[in-house]
Structure 1
Amino acid sequence: MATGILGAVNEEIALLRQQMRIESVVTVGGIRFTTGRLRGKSVVIGASGVGKVNAALAAQILIDRFHVQRMFFTGTAGAIQPALRIGDVILSTKTQQYDVNFSGIGYPSGVIPFLKTSIFTANAVLLETAERAAREIEHRKFRVLKGKILTGDRFVANARLGQVLRKTFAGVCVEAEGGAVGQVAYRNKVPYLVVRGISDKVGITSPADYARFGKIAARDAQWVVLTTLKLLKT
């Protein structure tokens, strides 16, 4: 069973590439995909680029070209749930694209017209395995929590917007790719999970904190993905 793993940028997948036994490197759609073995599993890893379109493109390539049968998206996110801390790792229970808005023709905000659902549920086996993986990481200094992840094509730095998104969509953090991957996974019936390290607290910490803590948050999220792969049976 092939597993696809995406991050938006190289630093969000660097640890994974370092740990894998590389078999080939292929560029498709301008995205460099590395294939090989990681924790005993066949994997395809790539940096999609930032934003929903890039993420959706990469996810569909993983399915069509590399025939992956499950997908992870890993990287960083901004917290909108006050109880979250910088350094926490969030496992997606669901994802939703908060910037979809067809309210002018009667659809609630966040609802994609003519699609059966606009909230994309993470695979239960991947989520449960990731929760077990978190308990197995030795000397772990970060918390691993789960919740709904919100996706939009912007960097959210405004506290008021963060509050609105949390109240409207019941999300715990915001990023720019996971919901798009969730939609592709849903349409193709491929199990998926988003794993995000919290790099900043929206409207509370400064954008400089994203740069300061982003690498650490990305690294910790990758450790969760690595350990999850190890625990998966196939």
Structure 2
Amino acid sequence: MNTGRRFRVGKVHGKKVVYVRCGRGMVNGAAATQQMIDVFNVKGIVHFGIAGNMNNSMSIGDVTIPKKITNAGLWDWLNPDKAKGGEDLAYLEVRNYNVPKGDGNNELGSIGYSYEQLYSVTGRINSPQNVFWINTTQEWLHIAADLEKMELSQCVNASLCLPIKPKLVVGLKAATADIFVDNAAYRNFLYDTFGVSSSDMESSAVAMTCASNGYPVIVIRGLSDLAGVGGDNTVHKFGSLAATNTAKAVLEFIKKLPPS
């Protein structure tokens, strides 16, 4: 079967694994996950990569293994004269960010954050469940909790090091959208409104595809930048370190998985 992707089959710490690069964005994340499930006899999906940091208590080089993920790119962009209401969970008022603050009307109006529709093998046929958060697999999170004290790399090379030693945290929340977030105001909005600590472009699509098919899933993401501070330059400087720490966490997690 030619899917346009190269799947590599092998073993890691004695466990059979299939590895594939999904590509950038939510469509790629969902498509690669569905292909993996359809073509191979997998037990579950370990999704990993780098992410932007939304949480001021986290730092570049840290690794997050979230307990739940939202699609923060599913919006209702409201007319400026429309009153709040309906089924939207939260709102971003564009005029709150006017300079001077709150000055006059802003025709961009507001954005209402909406729900995913989850079709699941465990749900009723043709009756999607409205969900805002997609949970990662609780059993795998318990296994991952043992990784929180693992040693992570602090230096890209001999001359480029982080000021503090990176840490791994299990059980935070994450956001996904087809948006590279390099804006401090929007970072603060996402953290203050939804409590998310990281932002990426694939994780919720992978998790939702797994939930829809009834497969276990865990997400492991290394933080490469603080949104709104440094942008692409920070990613270019520390992206490789975030990726290295993510890979270390993935290998350690696979090591702790019970035999098939």
TM bucket, shorter chain: 0.7 to 0.9
Q: Quote the Cα distance in structure 2 between the aligned partners of 1:64 and 1:183.
A: 15
Alpha-carbon separation, structure 2, partners of 1:77 and 1:142 = 15
Count of matched residue pairs:
208
Q: Taking every aligned residue pair, what percent have the same amino acid on both sides?
A: 29
Alignment partners' CA distance in 2, 1:87 and 1:161: 21
CA distance in 2, matches of 1:168, 1:205: 23
Shift in CA distance, 79/136, structure 1 to aligned 2, threshold 3 Å: closer
Residue 142 of structure 1 corresponds to 166
Across the aligned residues of Structure 1 and Structure 2, the Cα RMSD in angstroms comes to 2.0
Q: Alpha carbons of 1:166 and 1:110: their partners in 2 closer, same or farther (altered >3 Å)?
A: farther
- Which consecutive residues of structure 1, in runs of 5 or more, have no partner in the other structure? 1-26
Contact 1:134/1:227 (<8 A) preserved: no
After TM superposition, the score normalised by the length of structure 1 is 0.83
Deviates more, 1:184-193 or 1:116-125: 116-125
Structure 2: give runs of 5+ residues left out of the alignment.
79-84, 89-112, 118-127, 155-164
What secondary structure is seen at the aligned counterpart in 2 of 1:194? strand
Task: Please say if residues 152 and 167 of structure 2, whose CA atoms lie closer than 8 Å, have aligned partners that are also in contact.
Answer: no
State yes or no: 1:209 paired with 2:225: no
Which of 206, 211, 215 pairs up with 1:190?
215
Output one character per residue of 1:120-168: Cα deviation in whole Å (capped at 9) or x when no partner.
Answer: 1111121121221343548884200131110000110011111111122
Q: Distance in 2 between matches of 1:192 and 1:228?
A: 12
* Alignment-mate amino acid for residue 168 of structure 2: V
Query: Which structure 2 residues correspond to residues 15-54 of structure 1 after superposition, within 5 A?
Result: 28-54=2-28
Structure 2 counterpart of 1:144, which letter? L
1:67 maps to: 41
- Structure with greater helix percent: 1
Listed one character per residue, the Cα deviations across residues 71-91 of structure 1 (whole Å, up to 9, x for unaligned) are 111111111111111111001
Residue by residue over 1:39-66, the C-alpha shift from the partner in whole angstroms, topping out at 9 and shown as x without a partner, is 1111110101000000000000111111
3-state SS of paired residue (1:31):
coil
Match of 1:16 in 2: none
Aligned partner of residue 120 in structure 1, secondary structure: strand
